[in-house]
């Protein structure tokens, strides 16, 4: 048998690759003689990466704030990358080792393994939120944040995409539009559901009832893209994918465990770690400080109030009634709003 790593074999394979596209292999081989070696700094584009932290003030802790947001967005990117592969049923690996399109069916094991990765990404985010809770001086934060008004993490496109790609849209609405569209007085067409997503309701000023500028700016930039994304994922979001599996696969305990973990991490544990940072930094002298995004955040952010559940069929009624309760009580008893 021919050694697949022999020079002869590799040259043959290269020859096939180049001739398939009408290219001259010898020219490419000559190019290898002159090409530079790949460096770490070029490969990960380090120089560019390190120019992306651009504080608006001279407060040193603003760099911590910006960088940690960027780290979070990169984890969000990885999360969406895994979701996209589940949505596409995973790649077909051809005999020649190359990637050749998407599989026809989703393998429950692949689904479970990719969910594990997503849960790991979020574990890291939940664990590391302390970088902002304890790792910034409140006095500095309260000053530099005024320079970034009305910007807010509320405007994170990737966070909204993760929510939308994780479940069916009606489970993200504030008016409880149901699956079959039979709930009285509620429009259940896709656009109405999109208009009623929970965060649109949350982003109103308490005094006037008007939408916050943070929210209208976000919509101006992203609502067309986000609606298109939601439409694309209406048939291939994680809940739809789970429900399309054969009955036996739906009962797979590892898959159910990972989906439940995902529900808890995105809808309780991360929001709670995030909420802690708001309590620590936006509470002073027994008063709540206005958020940069202008929401009534102490009523809007706690997971117990949002009651967002991606996979209601995987939880008992009691578990749903107690959603976020245990965690909230535990966390709130240990939070001491930071001193200024």
- For position 309 contacting ligand HEM by CB under 6 A, the verdict is no
- For position 301 contacting ligand HEM by CB under 6 A, the verdict is yes
Contact 188, 178 (CB under 8 A): yes
Binding mask 202-231 toward ligand HEM (x if CB under 6 A, else -) reads x-----------x-----------------
With CB under 6 A as the contact rule, the residue among 89, 237, 295, 331 that binds ligand HEM is 295
Query: 85 vs 296, which CB is nearer to ligand HEM?
Result: 296
- For position 297 contacting ligand HEM by CB under 6 A, the verdict is yes
Query: Residues touching ligand HEM: how many (CB under 6 A)?
Result: 24
Cβ of residue 189: shortest distance to ligand HEM, in angstroms?
23
Element spanning 91, H or E: strand 91-93
3-class state of residue 94 by DSSP: coil
**Nearest CA to 80 among 153, 157, 161, 156?**
161
Query: 112 vs 215, which CB is nearer to ligand HEM?
Result: 215
Cα–Cα distance for residue pair 159/198, rounded to 1 Å:
13
- For position 171 contacting ligand HEM by CB under 6 A, the verdict is no
Cβ of residue 273: shortest distance to ligand HEM, in angstroms?
9
With CB under 6 A as the contact rule, the residue among 59, 159, 218, 327 that binds ligand HEM is 159
With CB under 6 A as the contact rule, the residue among 241, 274, 276, 283 that binds ligand HEM is 274
Cα–Cα distance for residue pair 136/66, rounded to 1 Å:
11
Cα–Cα distance for residue pair 193/164, rounded to 1 Å:
12
What are the distances in angstroms from CA 51 to CA 48, 55, 67, 74, 183? Answer: 5, 11, 11, 16, 51
Cα–Cα distance for residue pair 71/51, rounded to 1 Å:
14
Cβ of residue 26: shortest distance to ligand HEM, in angstroms?
50
Contact 17, 96 (CB under 8 A): no
- For position 166 contacting ligand HEM by CB under 6 A, the verdict is no
Cβ of residue 181: shortest distance to ligand HEM, in angstroms?
25
Cβ of residue 281: shortest distance to ligand HEM, in angstroms?
5
Per DSSP, 145 falls in state G
Query: Regarding beta strands 91-93 and 283-284, do their DSSP bridges make them parallel or antiparallel, or are they unpaired?
Result: unpaired
- For position 291 contacting ligand HEM by CB under 6 A, the verdict is yes
Query: 204 vs 256, which CB is nearer to ligand HEM?
Result: 204
What are the distances in angstroms from CA 340 to CA 147, 273, 274? Answer: 19, 21, 19
- For position 153 contacting ligand HEM by CB under 6 A, the verdict is yes
Tell me whether residue 282 is exposed, middle or buried, using C-beta atoms within 10 angstroms of its C-beta: 0 to 12, 13 to 18, 19 or more: buried
Cα–Cα distance for residue pair 292/313, rounded to 1 Å:
36
Joined together, the tokens standing for residue 164 give: 């939308």
- For position 304 contacting ligand HEM by CB under 6 A, the verdict is no
Cβ of residue 91: shortest distance to ligand HEM, in angstroms?
29
Q: Which residues contribute to the site for ligand HEM (CB under 6 A)?
A: 68-69, 72, 132, 152-154, 156, 159, 199, 202, 214, 274, 277-278, 281-282, 291-295, 297, 301
């Amino acid at each position: 048998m021919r050694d697949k790593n022999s020079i002869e074999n590799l040259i043959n394979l290269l020859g096939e690759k180049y001739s398939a596209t009408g290219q001259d292999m010898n020219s490419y081989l000559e190019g290898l003689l002159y090409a530079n070696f790949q460096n770490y700094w070029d490969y990960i584009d380090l120089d560019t990466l390190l120019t992306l932290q651009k504080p608006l003030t001279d407060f040193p802790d603003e760099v911590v704030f910006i960088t940690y947001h960027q780290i979070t967005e990169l984890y969000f990117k990885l999360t969406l990358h895994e979701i996209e592969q589940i949505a596409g049923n995973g790649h077909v690996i051809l005999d020649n080792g190359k990637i050749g399109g998407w599989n026809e069916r989703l393998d429950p094991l692949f689904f479970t393994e990719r969910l594990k990765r997503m849960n790991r990404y979020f574990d890291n985010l939940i664990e590391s939120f302390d970088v902002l809770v304890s790792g910034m001086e409140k006095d500095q934060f309260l000053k530099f944040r005024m320079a970034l008004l009305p910007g807010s993490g509320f405007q994170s496109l990737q966070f909204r995409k993760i929510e939308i790609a994780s479940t069916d849209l009606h489970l993200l609405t504030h008016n409880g539009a149901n699956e079959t569209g039979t709930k009285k007085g509620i429009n259940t067409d896709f656009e109405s559901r999109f208009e009623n997503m929970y965060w649109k309701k949350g982003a109103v000023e308490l005094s006037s009832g008007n939408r916050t500028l943070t929210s209208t700016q976000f919509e101006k930039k992203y609502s067309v893209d986000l609606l298109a994304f939601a439409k694309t994922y209406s048939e291939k979001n994680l809940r739809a994918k789970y429900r399309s599996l054969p009955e036996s696969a739906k009962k797979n305990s590892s898959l159910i465990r990972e989906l439940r973990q995902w529900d808890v991490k995105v809808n309780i544990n991360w929001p709670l770690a995030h909420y802690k940072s708001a309590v620590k930094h936006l509470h002073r002298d027994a008063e709540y400080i206005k958020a940069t995004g202008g929401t009534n955040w102490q009523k809007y952010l706690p997971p117990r109030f949002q009651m967002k559940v991606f996979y209601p069929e995987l939880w008992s009624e009691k578990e749903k009634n107690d959603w976020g309760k245990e965690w909230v009580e535990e966390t709130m008893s240990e939070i001491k709003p930071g001193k200024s």
